[in-house]
């Protein structure tokens, strides 16, 4: 009897303690993390299934990566092609969108007036507009007008650059705001030209932001779906996301899981390298780097 009493009083006093540990919040957080990550882990696990099933594990093997002579990612040209095409899109888009965005950010930030404010507004609209609106409008341009722009790799890259342009702009402008103008003014006072001040003073200070936006754009492009689907020209230009969308509800083999897992691995490698690079570039700034990197993304 007394023990029961003590236990119940113990519980109440735990609740009444104003400095109690936030156990409920902790439970929600860990529960959320399990819910968000376990399904993906299971999907990755099934890519190693030695059987054909995607619902019961029949032993582990590398069959769906390279073992199977016709259905594995290595030997099925459509799966292999999807993976290669994804990376081609990722690299081309990043190479175009990041310099374009950085230059736009610098120009818009310093060129004062109504006109640049309007362009900045257009850029922010391109950031918030649902992807389907941009994807379908470009789809109409490609299918309904006679322009040099066609569906396929070129069309996809152009669409992706349009969609991604706002990321480097927003990140670089946020950074420009914290840097301010004094460093540049000091440089010009000491005799540097305008362009020299940008190149030798401002640009190096922007490296962390440029680098973060490069990683962000690349990782975002290889996961993109709507624009690449709307602007693809048949099976030859379908990246991994479109491949998954087209086959997930059919009867896919675990090779599809293997394809998705390879893309996941690539994303994780890109982001790890990105984090290490970011840490290296911003090592003099004293801020906890994981948090500021998280702030960038």
> Using the rule CB under 8 A, is 267 a contact of another protein?
yes
One of 167, 213, 260, 278 touching another protein (CB under 8 A):
260
255 vs 50: CA distance, rounded Å = 11
Alpha helices for the chain (secondary structure H): 2-16, 23-46, 77-110, 114-128, 131-144, 153-164, 166-179, 182-189, 194-197, 203-223, 226-230, 240-247, 254-281, 289-296
Q: Measured between alpha carbons, how far is 158 from 287 in angstroms, rounded to an integer?
A: 36
Q: Which two tokens stand for residue 78?
A: 């459509």
Name which position in 93, 159, 187, 214 contacts another protein (CB under 8 A): 159
Query: Should residue 182 be labelled a site residue for another protein when binding is judged by CB under 8 A?
Result: no
Q: For residue 128, state whether it binds another protein (rule: CB under 8 A).
A: yes
Looking at 2-10, 63-71, 202-210, 217-225, which segment touches another protein (CB under 8 A)?
217-225
Residue 87 contacts residue 153 (beta carbons within 8 Å): no
Cβ-based neighbours of 60, under 8 Å, separated by 6 or more: 48, 49, 50
Q: Which of 82, 89, 221, 222 binds another protein (CB under 8 A)?
A: 222
* CA-based nearest residue to 258, from 72, 59, 41, 36: 72
Q: Min. distance of Cβ 41 from another protein in angstroms? A: 8
Residues 57 to 86: which contact another protein by CB under 8 A?
A: none
Select 5 or 23, whichever has its Cβ closest to another protein: 23
Kindly state whether residue 191 participates in binding another protein, applying the rule CB under 8 A.
no
- What is the Cα–Cα distance from 83 to 215, expressed in whole angstroms? 18
Residue 86, both tokens: 């994804």
Residue nearer to another protein on the CB measure, 61 or 120: 120
Stretch that binds another protein, among 4-12, 61-69, 73-81, 253-261 (CB under 8 A): 253-261
Q: Does 172 bind another protein (CB under 8 A)?
A: no
Work out whether 192 is an interface residue with another protein (CB under 8 A): no
- Binders in 33-52 for another protein, by CB under 8 A: 33, 35-37, 39-40, 42-43, 46
**Distances, alpha carbon 197 to alpha carbons 47, 181, 189, 204, 211, in Å:** 52, 11, 10, 10, 20
| Interacting positions 129-158 with another protein (CB under 8 A) | 129-134, 136-141, 144-145, 158
Among 48, 64, 65, 104, binds another protein (CB under 8 A): 104
Q: Does 98 bind another protein (CB under 8 A)?
A: no
Is 165 a binder of another protein (CB under 8 A)?
A: yes
């Amino acid at each position: 009897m007394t023990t029961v009493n003590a236990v119940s009083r113990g519980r109440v006093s735990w609740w009444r303690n104003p400095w109690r540990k936030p156990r409920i919040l902790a439970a929600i957080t860990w529960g959320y993390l399990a819910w968000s990550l376990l399904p993906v882990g299971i999907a990755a696990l099934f890519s190693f299934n030695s059987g054909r099933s995607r619902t019961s594990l029949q032993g582990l093997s590398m069959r769906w990566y390279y073992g199977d002579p016709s259905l594995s990612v290595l030997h099925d040209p459509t799966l292999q092609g999807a993976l290669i095409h994804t990376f081609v899109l990722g690299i081309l888009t990043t190479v175009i969108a990041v310099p374009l965005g950085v230059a736009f950010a610098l120009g818009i930030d310093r060129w004062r007036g109504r006109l640049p404010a309007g362009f900045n507004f257009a850029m922010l609209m391109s950031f918030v507009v649902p992807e389907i609106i941009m994807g379908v409008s470009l789809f109409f341009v490609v299918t309904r007008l006679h322009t040099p722009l066609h569906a396929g790799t070129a069309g996809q890259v152009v669409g992706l650059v349009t969609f991604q342009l706002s990321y480097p702009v927003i990140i670089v402008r946020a950074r420009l705001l914290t840097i301010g103008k004094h460093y540049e003014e000091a440089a010009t006072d000491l005799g540097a030209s305008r362009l020299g001040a940008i190149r030798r003073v401002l640009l190096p200070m922007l490296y962390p932001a440029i680098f973060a936006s490069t990683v962000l754009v690349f990782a975002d492009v290889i996961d993109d779906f709507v624009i690449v689907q709307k602007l693809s020209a048949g099976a030859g230009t379908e990246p991994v996301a479109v491949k998954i969308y087209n086959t997930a509800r059919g009867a896919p083999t675990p090779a599809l899981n293997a394809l998705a897992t390879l893309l996941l691995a690539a994303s994780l490698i890109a982001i790890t390298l990105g984090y290490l690079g970011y840490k290296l570039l911003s090592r003099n700034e004293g801020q906890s780097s994981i948090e500021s990197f998280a702030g960038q993304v």
